[in-house]
Amino acid sequence: MSPSNISTSKPSAFNAERPPSAPVVERPPFVPPGAVRPELPPAPSTAKPAGGSWKKVVLAAAVAVAVAVIGTAAFFGYRSYSDDPAPVSLPTPIPSVDVDLPEPDESITAEPTPAATTVLNSEQTDPKKLTLKEAFARQRVSVGGRVYTRTKVNITAQCDKVAVGTFATALKRQKCSRVLRATYVDSKRKYAVTTGIAVFPTKEAAVAADKKKNLSKTVWFRGLAGNTGSGADKADISGGYAAGLVWGRYIVFSFATYSDGHTPNGQEKDLGPVSGAFRDYTAHVIEKRVTG
């Protein structure tokens, strides 16, 4: 599979399942403008992240997005590295909100039936607005065997403002109505992970927008930085790994970075599984729209 492409399963309301964690697509690390060119290792081969234990659920016309390296350009706007790079100015910071969200009650939900998942394909059959409370209710979450604390949440109807390049344009063209994001930091303050959901009027609109991403050129969603001292204050400018999937009229995404802000080198491969685990965790928000 080409690094910048997505793998698609043919739409089938009765025979499609949510894909397992996508394989990690390794790329050489992005070098920020002005940095010293490092000695790059040979191109690594594709490897699968550590297997998760999340249950298999039914998914109508799912589109799995491979986990891929995204660099600092997700914030700067991508430019190829050159021996004489020109300085790049930063865009205007995106306003964000930090709110107290009540903890949800524990409940056991049934696995959705194949036919039931088709309600996610259109806002006509899935009219309830997705809220921060629904998406990111818990202050502390356990993902991939680690405990994370939520440091920042954000919701905006200006979807193109929290994305980059042609992908941002596609979000607007396909009538994205809102993007919800949250950033989490693990208890050891090693990882800062932005995860979120973009909402569209139809499944077709979500798929069309997703096709305009280019992970090799960091044309995708922006990371959401936390406050100074939160361990996530560099999440919007750090290099890292991205993962996502399209489920009905939603794009579910995650972007894992190191809390200290350094871009992963060729030997650092732990961010891929972290990002994939958060993608799968956030996808449960959409699953619950079917199971209740």
Does the residue 41 lie in any domain? no
Q: What is the mean pLDDT of residues 158-163?
A: 97
CA angle 99, 242, 94 (to 5 degrees): 40
In a domain, 89, yes or no: no
From 224, 183, 210, 179, select the one nearest 197 (Cα to Cα): 179
**Domain hosting residue 255, numbered range:** 7-31+46-77+95-291
Q: Taking the CA of residue 91 as centre, how many other CA atoms within 13 Å lie in the half-sphere pointing to its CB?
A: 17
158 located within any domain: yes
Residue 45: phi, psi to the nearest 5? -90, 165
What would the pLDDT profile of 203-220 be if each residue is shown by its tens digit?
Answer: 999 999 999 998 878 889
Return d(Cα 292, Cα 197) in angstroms, integer. 18
At 240, is the secondary structure helix, strand, or coil? strand
**Is 213 within a domain?**
yes
Over residues 169-188, mean pLDDT: 98
Q: What is the pLDDT of residues 184-200, one digit of tens each?
A: 999 999 999 999 999 99
Residue 85 lies in a domain: no
Q: Model confidence at 240, in pLDDT bands (50, 70, 90)?
A: very high
- Evaluate if residue 90 carries a pLDDT over 70: no
Residue 84 belongs to a domain: no
Which pLDDT score, from 0 to 100, does residue 292 have? 75
CA pair distance 120, 95, nearest whole angstrom: 29
Which backbone phi and psi does 240 adopt, to 5 degrees? -175, -160
Q: Is residue 38 part of a domain?
A: no
DSSP 8-state assignment for residue 35: S
Cβ-Cβ contacts under 8 Å for 127 (sequence gap 6 or more): none
pTM above 0.85, yes or no: no
Confidence class for position 68, pLDDT limits 50, 70, 90: low
| Tally of domains in the chain | 1
86 occurs within a structural domain: no
Indicate the DSSP class of residue 235: T
